[in-house]
With several copies, the nearest count.
Chain A
Amino acid sequence: MTYRVVHYINQFFAGIGGEEQAGQKPLLKEGIVGPGQALAAEFGDKATIVATVVCGDGYFAENMDEATETIIGLIASCKADAVIAGPAFNAGRYGTACGAVCTAVKDRLAIPALTAMYPENPGVDLFRKETIIVETADSARGLRKAVPPMASILLKLLEGRELGLPAEEGYLPQGLRKNLFRAEPGAERAASMLVKKLRGEPFETEYPMPVFDRVPPAPALKDLKGARIALVTSGGIVPKGNPDHIEASSASRYGEYDISGVSDLTSADYATAHGGYDPTYADGDADRVLPVDVLREMEREGIFAKLHDLFYTTVGNGTPVAMAARFGREIAVKLREAAVDAVILTST
């Protein structure tokens, strides 16, 4: 079969004009326009560019939601099997538009999409995680070189074949860590890497260090007396039986449980779901991890106004940072809506 591909390009590559025509609204042209020629040649008979969607970079940048909506509609009308956008080279607004279009196509139409850019194009950082971006030179002089990997990768995606590594296939890394088997065991690689490092020879780390977020702490409460305080834990304390099935590690969810009226977490009613530590002591008395008992005392003594009725809990064991960040954002919103003044975060 021959796949039906729609090509997205800007007003410049469509031959409509330069910056003065950047306000061009989305329009659909049957068949191949501009750089689509080279792509079509590369596809051979495996895929056909059935239509080209053109949009002015200025219009897209200023009307992103509306433009995207229109473009998706146009593409859908073509019964496309896949979308290819650009190459955008180092054109920033064009790159952003290509990335946004590919992402929307993947999300909304659930068909493969890819684009191509120069690595420093701002569209790369914005969309590399969402969409495949083939690496190009910084200008249209690099078109000939960009086309073969664009075509080859799109065909692999269409055929459901697994992609090779970015450097092998020619796309920019998406920042996803993927397992593979190397030729040598880890210890051998470590020893070889050390020898190279000591000799001053080039070597490649297998895990470039990330830069960590540092969150500045919120200002301290001036007065505890009137404060509503909530408990949030990554120690996995849950009602016994773990009703929401929070995973023992790599948690994909968190729980929200009501402790109004509860002044002590007993082993009859609470336990930990955490798989990263010996649960003997947490299961014996869950207050050790989530100190409801002490906070109730302090509440009675009037040290603060109220312990929030709900507590939030997840398992911080091998749980990806990205997942944890999402939990944090969601829980923070709920706590703010509930007019909570401060949170005590407990770990294990």
Chain B
Amino acid sequence: MKLELHRLKVRRLAWGSRTAFDKGLLSIDRSALTDLLAKDGRFRSVTLDLALPGESVRIIPVKDVIEPRCKLDGPGEVFPGFIGDVETVGEGATLVLEGAAVVTCGAIVGFQEGIIDMSGPGADYTPFSKTCNLVVTFEPVDGLEKHEYEAACRMAGFRAARYLADSVRDVAAETIDTVQWPPLSEAMTAHPGLPKVAYLYMLQSQGLLHDTYLYGVDVKRILPTLVSPTEVMDGAVVSGNCVSACDKNSTYAHQNNPVIAALLARHGREINFVGCIVTNENVTLADKKRSSAAAVKLARMLGVEGLVISEEGFGNPDADLIMNCRRAEAAGIRTVLITDEFAGSDGASQSLADAAPEATAVVSVGNANARVVLPPMERVIGFPREANVIAGGFDGSMRDDGSIEVELQAITGATNELGFSRLSAVTV
């Protein structure tokens, strides 16, 4: 599979009479896009806002973040299973509006959405203070059931992201990155002498709004299988997850999966990166064991020596992470795990809900219990009072002066377990 990522670097957003791109400025036709999204009869209101890096703006409660992309060439369309059809993606050419993001905002579960500050101390913790954000805030029609509300917001986010890219598809790319992903028949004979490595990609699938989709299929229903990096870049994996904002993988993080990027960067030099194994994180022990056994079986089938394993979420999924580690190490496959920590606000507690001596190589993306005070912002997009009930917030989080004291848990992407950020933790 060969995929070209045609990149346009977005440096500013503005409303315009039509959606267009010119020298870093993405103009957005506000009414056209509002109309497009409002066609979904499940919304009472659809509101568009802009939030740019450095502005005194807070977005709360954030559901998902999506990078605007569309297919320029090749089979299928981005977000297969949701937009377009269910074709295998990852070939041809895809337009990427780098630096832009669609942020969906809605109080679906109330305490399972997050905060993005565009400036101030909170901005240090979220990757999405550095993107030019189109924020879409949804209110549901009366009586809309939460799962329907989530589905509506999810679809609307994809539609908006695809709309932005598709609207400027005729603009010539500024840079083109090419990813050439060979079949295993070639990959297995390439780069002799370098260790074969795969990526074990754990997707949140505990259900009841903790859901991730692969080609539109709720992954709690699958057995582990193989995907190529270029499929992931085209949105084969998307988030439908409503859980603590710090370490749920936004669709943006999937589209720009940094583990894939890091392994590709070392491919052919230090390692031979041969595949991505997607697996799920289910709730019953039998499901955990089955998926773990099957995922490690695929790793053995690939004949890899090493695995990077990324988690999504915390607590219950720690058991999946550790089980995957133990099984892989028992099969002679060396592992590195990426996880965040819940060590208490003082850092004195154990960080994970499960542990194993085999887990000798762990990357920590930070203690999500650590607290931060977010000062008042000039502008708040969304529903600020949710801070009191948001996971990572507490009663009194929202202060009279508009400042908020919360755990990092409440900040979107703060401890992203794909290893998106530089945050970590150490023992002191």
Contacts and interface: CB of A to CB of B under 8 A. Distances in A.
A and B touch in the complex (CB under 8 A): yes
A175 interface: yes
Contacts of A278: 109, 146-147, 207-210, 242
Given A176-B427, A198-B195, A209 B395 contact: no
A275 B424 contact: no
B359 A318 contact: no
A267 interface: no
Interface stretch (B46-54, B133-141, B386-394): B386-394
B426 A180 contact: yes
Interface stretch (B63-71, B91-99, B331-339): B331-339
Interface in B257-275: 257-259, 261-263, 265-266, 270-271
Given A179-B367, A198-B305, A322 B315 contact: no
B163 interface: no
Interface residues of A, number: 59
A79 interface: no
A159 interface: no
Contacts of A318: 244, 314-315, 342, 368-369, 391-392, 407, 409
Contact of B395 (A178, A245, A280): A245
A21 interface: no
Given A178-B367, A250-B407, A275-B244, A190 B208 contact: no
Interface stretch (B7-15, B23-31, B288-296, B350-358): B350-358
A145 B352 CA distance: 37
A51 to B, nearest CB: 30
B422 A183 contact: yes
Interface stretch (A199-207, A292-300, A329-337): A199-207
Interface string A154-175: 0000000001011000000111
Contact of A194 (B209, B336, B346, B366): B336
B74 interface: no
A316 B316 CA distance: 10
A277 interface: yes
A208 interface: yes
B375 interface: no
B344 interface: yes
B336 A197 contact: yes
Contacts, number: 259
A195 interface: yes
Contacts of A193: 336, 361, 363
A142 interface: no
Q: Is the interface of A mostly helix, strand, loop or mixed?
A: loop
B43 interface: no
A206 B363 contact: yes
A144 interface: no
B263 A165 contact: no
A186 B361 CA distance: 12
B421 interface: yes
A327 B209 CA distance: 29
B210 to A, nearest CB: 7
Given A178-B347, A252-B394, A186 B389 contact: no
15 contacts: A166-B427, A177-B367, A178-B426, A186-B363, A194-B271, A206-B363, A207-B364, A212-B350, A242-B395, A248-B392, A248-B393, A250-B407, A280-B145, A280-B147, A318-B315
Interface of B: 109, 111-112, 124, 145-147, 195, 197, 206-210, 242-244, 257-259, 261-263, 265-266, 270-271, 305-308, 310, 314-315, 334-339, 341-352, 354-357, 359-370, 389-396, 407-409, 416-428
Interface of A: 129, 163, 165-166, 173-191, 193-195, 197-198, 203, 205-212, 242, 245, 247-250, 252, 275-281, 316-323
